[in-house]
C-alpha cells in the first residue's frame, strides 16, 4: 500500500479547481500535474498548489503528457463530459489509477469500452459521484440496509438545478453545456440522482436496471432567459435549443423496483435532487426532508393527514440515529470542502482506493450503467418515448457481485 | 332556468352519503331519490334526508327505477367505478342532467360512448372532479391565467393515498377496490391529479393530450400489509395482486407540455397529490407548499439555495393575493362540507349547471380524456412501457373550443 498518492488533475474548468482545493489539504496526496486545454487555467491551478505550500506541479495543455509522466500514481479526469471516456481509456491503458468525474454519455460504445479496457488492464477505476456521499443519501442507505423502509419498491431522483446562466453564458465562460443543449435532447446528467439510488437498490450487485422510457417537454426556458437576460446576443437569441426543459425518465429494475429521474435545468426554481426512497414499511423524501416510518407514525397519523407539514423537516431527528459515521463527526477538511462535505468524502474514498486500502467504491460497472442512461434516454425520446433495454455491463456478474470495497468511505 | 333541482343519487357506498350531506343544506336542491344495490345503504340515505327535514325520497335498489321517475331533473352517479358509464349513458338517453363521480375506465369504448351519447342526446353531463376546486389548484389556475408562471412547460400530479386498509378490508366493507387490485395493473385513479392540471393546460380547449407511457413497480405493499394486519385471512394472504405499488405515467401534450402522474396507494405514506406547475417564470409545488416566482426571488436566492426550507410553506402568502374568490370568503356550507370545501364547490358548480345557469364546467370531453388514461396506462404497462396514443375525443373541436361555462363556480 502506498503512503502518498501522486495525482494528475486533467480538466481545470470549474470542477477541477473545486477538487484540487480539498486534495491540497490531504497529507497523503500530492497534486503532481495539472492540465487543461487553456493555459491560464493551468497556471491558476499551479498557483493553487504553490500557495498551499506544495511542490510546483507539472503543467501542460496536453493530457497525453500527463499520462506519460513516470512518477504518477493516479489521474482525476474533470474535463468536459465528451472527453472523459477517451482520457479514461488512455489512463487505464497506461495503468494509472483512474478517477473520472461524472456526466452521461451520448455513445453506448463509451460504456462498453470503459468496461472492456478496465477488465483487460485491471487498472482500478473510480467514478467520482459525490452525491453517493450526501448526508441524507448515506443515511437512507444505512436505514435501507437495516430494513427500516421494508422492501424498497420505488425511488425518485432529480437534477433540479437552474443552470440557465451557466448555459447561456457558455461561450464567455468557456463552458461546454451550451453546445449540449443546442444539439441533444435527453437526460443529460443522470448520475447525481441515480448514483445514490443505484447504491440503495444494489444495482450491479444482485440487481440491475433492465429498461427505461424517457419523455421530454418542449424547450422554452433558455430562449425565454436569453430574451430577457442577454437580448443583445443575436446568435443566441435565434438559437433553437433541442434540449427539453423537463426530461422524465422511468427505469425498471430486474427486482421490480422503479426509479423516476427528472432533469430540470432550464427553468427558474430552487435546487433539489428530490431524493426519495419508498418501501413497504416507510419512506424518505427530500422535498419536505421527512422520514415516514409506519410503526412510529400510528399515533400522529390523523394529525399529519390533516397537516402534512407537521412531518416536514423531521429527518434531522433520524440523522442523529442513522447518519453514516462519516457524517456524525465531520472533520475540518470535510466541513471546508465543497458541496457540504460530499466532495471531501468521495475524494477520500478515491484516495484510499488509489493507495490500495480499498477497492473503488463506485466502479466501472457503476459508471457504465449510470452513464448509459443519457444515450438511451436520447434514443427513447427520438423514438417517441419508446422503451429501451439497458445493457448488463457486468455480463452476468451482477448476480453474484457483493460488497467488496470494505473500509472507510466505502459504500459497499 | 330552474329554481329547484330534484336529484336522484345512485350509489350510496361511501361517496354517495358524503355528497348527500352538503346537498341537503342547499336550498335549491331536493334529494328526491336514493338508490344502491344494498338496501341498508338506501335506508340509511333516506334517513339522512328525513333527518335534514326533507321529504322522504324515493328508495330503490334498481337504478332504472330512478331513471324512470317522472319528476326528476338530475342524477348523481356515485356507484363503483365499473358501473359509472353504463348508468351515465342510460341517464343521458333519458334526458336527465347527468353528474358522474370520478374514476378511470378499463375500456376505451366507455369514453367514446360517453361522448357519442352526450352529443346525440345533448343532455348536459358534469364530471364531478372535486380536486379541480381545491384551494391551491384554483389559486394556480388563477396565477397561470395571469401569466405569473410564464409559459407552462410541465406539471406533476399524484394520487398518493395509503388505501391498504380500505382495499384489503374490501370484502368486509363492500368496497370494490379489492377486485381492481387483484386483476389490473395501471394508473387506476388518474383524475384527482390530472383534472386540475388539464384545466391549467387548456386540455380540450386549444390543447390536448397526445401520448403517454406508463411504468409499474412490483406489487409488495398489499401483501406485506395483509401479512401483518390480517394474517388470519388465508385467501387474501395467498392472493397475488396484479397492481404495482407505484405507477408512473408521463403524458405529452400537443403544445409540448409534459405531465407526470404517480399512483401510490399501497405503501405507507402521508397523503399528497404532489400538485406542481412549472413554467418559464416560476412554479408552485405542493410538497413544500411553495411558490417560486423568479422576479420576486432574486434577493433571497442564495439563502434559499443553501436552505430550501426557507421557502417552504410560503404559498399561504400568495393565497391572500391569488386565491379564487370562492376560497377567499368560504361560506358556512363550504367549510362544513367534505375535503376542505372542494366537495361543496364542485356540487355547487354542478347544481348551477343543472339549473341551467352555466354550462358544465367539467364536461364529457374532460371525462373521456381523463378517464382513458387508465386503460391506456394498462396497455402501456402490458406492452412493456410502450407509448400509447391518446384519442382526441372532441374530434378536432378542441382547437376552437373556448371558455364557455362562465358564471360562479365555472372553471372556464
The predicted-structure confidence for A249-280, as pLDDT tens digits, reads as follows: 999 999 999 999 999 999 999 999 999 999 99
Contact A269 B281 (CB under 8 A): no
pLDDT of residue B300: 82
Q: Which helix (H) or strand (E) holds B31?
A: strand B29-35
pLDDT of residue A303: 87
Closest CA to A375 of A79, A132, A192, A107: A107
A218: nearest CB among B217, B256, B297? B256
DSSP class of A337? S
B309: nearest CB among A278, A280, A313? A313
Does residue A287 have a pLDDT over 90?
Answer: yes
d(CA B365, CA A246): 27
Question: For chain A, what percent of residues have pLDDT higher than 70?
Answer: 100
Per residue in A194-245, pLDDT (tens digit) is 999 999 999 999 999 999 999 999 999 999 999 999 999 999 999 999 999 9
d(CA B309, CA B277): 19
pLDDT of residue A278: 98
Q: Which residues contact B237 (CB under 8 A, 6 or more apart)?
A: B223, B226, B227, B230, B231
- Measured between beta carbons, the chain A residues lying within 8 angstroms of B294 are 268
B272: nearest CB among A245, A308, A386? A308
Note whether A314 contacts B: Cβ–Cβ < 8 A.
no
d(CA A87, CA A99): 11
The two beta strands, B246-253 and B258-264, are antiparallel
- Contact assessment for residue B42 and residue B35, using Cβ atoms and an 8 Å cutoff: yes
Q: Which residues contact A107 (CB under 8 A, 6 or more apart)?
A: A85, A375
> Hey, of A156, A166, A280, A294, which one would you mutate to test binding to chain B, going by the most B CBs within 10 A of its CB?
A280
B257: nearest CB among A217, A257, A285? A217
Note whether A403 contacts B: Cβ–Cβ < 8 A.
no
pLDDT of residue B2: 85
- Mean pLDDT over each residue of chain A, to the nearest integer: 95
> Hey, of B135, B248, B297, B304, which one would you mutate to test binding to chain A, going by the most A CBs within 10 A of its CB?
B248
Taking CA A403 as the corner, what is the angle to CA A400 and CA A407, rounded to the nearest 5 degrees?
160
- Contact assessment for residue A192 and residue A103, using Cβ atoms and an 8 Å cutoff: no
Query: Is pLDDT larger for residue A403 or for residue B216?
Result: B216
Strand partners, B209: B253
Cβ pairs bridging A and B (under 8 Å): 168
If one counts every other C-beta atom within 10 angstroms of the C-beta of residue A79, the result is 24
d(CA B46, CA B142): 39
Contact A272 B384 (CB under 8 A): no
- Measured between beta carbons, the chain B residues lying within 8 angstroms of A267 are 153, 278-280, 283
- Mark the ranges of chain B whose per-residue pLDDT is less than 70: 403, 412
> How much is the average pLDDT of A141-169?
97
Closest residue in chain B to residue A223, using alpha carbons only: B280
Q: Which residue is listed with cell 467488496?
A: A404
- Contact assessment for residue B205 and residue B398, using Cβ atoms and an 8 Å cutoff: yes
Closest residue in chain B to residue A216, using alpha carbons only: B258
Does residue A412 have a pLDDT over 80?
Answer: no
Note whether A291 contacts B: Cβ–Cβ < 8 A.
no
- Contact assessment for residue A253 and residue A259, using Cβ atoms and an 8 Å cutoff: yes
pLDDT of residue A374: 98
pLDDT of residue B243: 98
d(CA A80, CA B77): 60
- Measured between beta carbons, the chain A residues lying within 8 angstroms of B276 are none
Closest residue in chain B to residue A162, using alpha carbons only: B305
d(CA B373, CA B138): 23
Per residue in A342-363, pLDDT (tens digit) is 999 999 999 999 999 999 999 9
Per residue in A82-139, pLDDT (tens digit) is 999 999 999 999 999 999 999 999 999 999 999 999 999 999 999 999 999 999 999 9
Q: Which helix (H) or strand (E) holds B152?
A: strand B152-160
Q: Which residues contact B287 (CB under 8 A, 6 or more apart)?
A: A285, A287, A288, B272, B274, B276
Instruction: Count helices and strands (H / E) in chain A.
Output: 18, 14
d(CA B203, CA B367): 11
DSSP class of B207? B
Q: What sign for the dihedral angle of Cα B165, B166, B168, B173?
A: positive
Taking CA A267 as the corner, what is the angle to CA A382 and CA A107, rounded to the nearest 5 degrees?
35
Q: Which residue is listed with cell 433553437?
A: A240
pLDDT of residue B298: 76
- Measured CA distances, B222 to A282, B27, B164 (Å): 14, 44, 6
The two beta strands, A258-264 and A246-253, are antiparallel
Strand partners, B6: B30
- Contact assessment for residue B45 and residue B16, using Cβ atoms and an 8 Å cutoff: yes
pTM of the model: 0.97
B258: nearest CB among A217, A255, A269? A217
Angle between helices A108-121 and A81-94 (to 10 degrees): 20
The string of DSSP letters for B347-361 reads HHHHHHHHTTSS--S
Helix intervals (H) in A99-134: 108-121
d(CA A128, CA A125): 10
DSSP class of A54? P
Does residue A317 have a pLDDT over 90?
Answer: yes
pLDDT of residue B388: 98
Angle between helices A191-201 and A364-382 (to 10 degrees): 120
pLDDT of residue A223: 97
Does residue A404 have a pLDDT over 80?
Answer: no
Contact B268 A281 (CB under 8 A): yes
- Measured CA distances, A120 to A80, A240, A359 (Å): 26, 43, 17
The two beta strands, A290-293 and A282-285, are antiparallel
Amino acid at each position: 500500500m502506498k503512503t502518498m498518492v501522486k495525482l494528475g488533475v486533467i480538466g481545470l474548468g470549474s470542477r477541477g479547481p473545486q477538487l484540487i482545493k480539498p486534495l491540497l489539504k490531504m497529507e497523503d496526496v500530492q497534486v503532481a500535474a495539472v492540465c487543461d486545454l487553456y493555459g491560464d487555467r493551468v497556471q491558476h491551478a499551479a498557483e493553487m498548489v504553490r500557495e498551499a505550500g506544495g511542490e510546483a506541479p507539472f503543467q501542460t495543455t496536453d493530457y497525453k503528457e500527463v499520462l506519460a509522466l513516470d512518477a504518477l500514481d493516479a489521474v482525476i479526469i474533470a474535463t468536459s463530459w465528451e472527453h472523459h471516456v477517451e482520457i479514461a481509456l488512455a489512463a487505464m491503458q497506461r495503468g494509472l489509477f483512474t478517477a473520472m468525474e461524472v456526466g452521461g454519455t451520448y455513445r453506448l460504445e463509451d460504456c462498453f469500452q470503459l468496461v472492456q479496457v478496465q477488465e483487460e488492464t485491471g487498472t482500478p477505476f473510480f467514478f467520482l459521484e459525490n452525491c453517493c456521499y450526501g448526508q441524507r443519501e448515506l443515511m437512507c442507505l444505512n436505514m435501507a440496509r437495516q430494513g427500516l423502509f421494508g422492501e424498497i419498491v420505488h425511488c425518485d431522483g432529480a437534477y433540479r438545478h437552474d443552470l440557465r446562466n451557466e448555459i447561456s453564458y457558455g461561450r464567455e465562460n468557456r463552458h461546454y453545456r451550451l453546445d449540449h443543449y443546442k444539439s441533444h435532447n435527453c437526460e443529460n446528467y443522470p448520475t447525481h440522482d441515480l448514483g445514490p439510488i443505484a447504491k440503495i437498490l444494489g444495482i450491479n450487485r444482485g440487481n440491475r436496471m433492465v429498461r427505461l422510457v424517457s419523455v421530454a417537454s418542449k424547450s422554452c426556458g433558455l430562449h425565454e432567459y436569453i430574451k430577457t437576460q442577454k437580448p443583445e446576443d443575436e446568435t443566441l437569441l435565434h438559437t433553437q435549443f433541442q434540449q427539453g426543459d423537463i426530461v422524465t425518465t422511468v427505469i425498471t429494475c430486474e427486482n421490480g423496483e422503479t426509479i423516476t429521474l427528472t432533469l430540470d435545468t432550464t427553468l427558474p426554481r430552487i435546487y433539489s435532487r428530490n431524493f426519495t426512497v419508498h418501501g413497504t414499511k416507510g419512506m424518505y423524501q427530500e422535498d419536505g426532508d421527512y422520514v415516514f416510518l409506519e410503526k412510529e407514525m400510528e399515533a400522529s397519523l390523523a394529525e399529519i393527514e390533516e397537516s402534512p407539514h407537521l412531518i416536514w423537516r423531521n429527518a434531522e431527528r433520524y440523522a442523529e440515529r442513522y447518519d453514516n459515521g462519516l457524517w456524525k463527526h465531520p472533520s475540518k477538511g470535510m466541513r471546508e470542502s465543497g458541496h457540504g462535505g460530499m466532495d471531501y468524502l468521495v475524494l477520500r474514498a478515491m484516495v484510499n482506493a488509489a493507495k490500495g486500502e480499498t477497492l473503488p467504491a463506485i466502479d466501472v460497472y457503476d459508471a457504465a450503467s449510470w452513464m448509459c442512461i443519457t444515450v438511451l434516454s436520447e434514443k427513447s425520446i427520438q423514438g417517441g418515448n419508446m422503451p429501451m433495454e439497458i445493457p448488463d455491463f457486468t455480463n452476468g456478474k451482477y448476480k453474484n457481485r457483493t460488497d467488496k470495497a470494505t473500509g472507510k468511505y466505502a459504500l459497499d
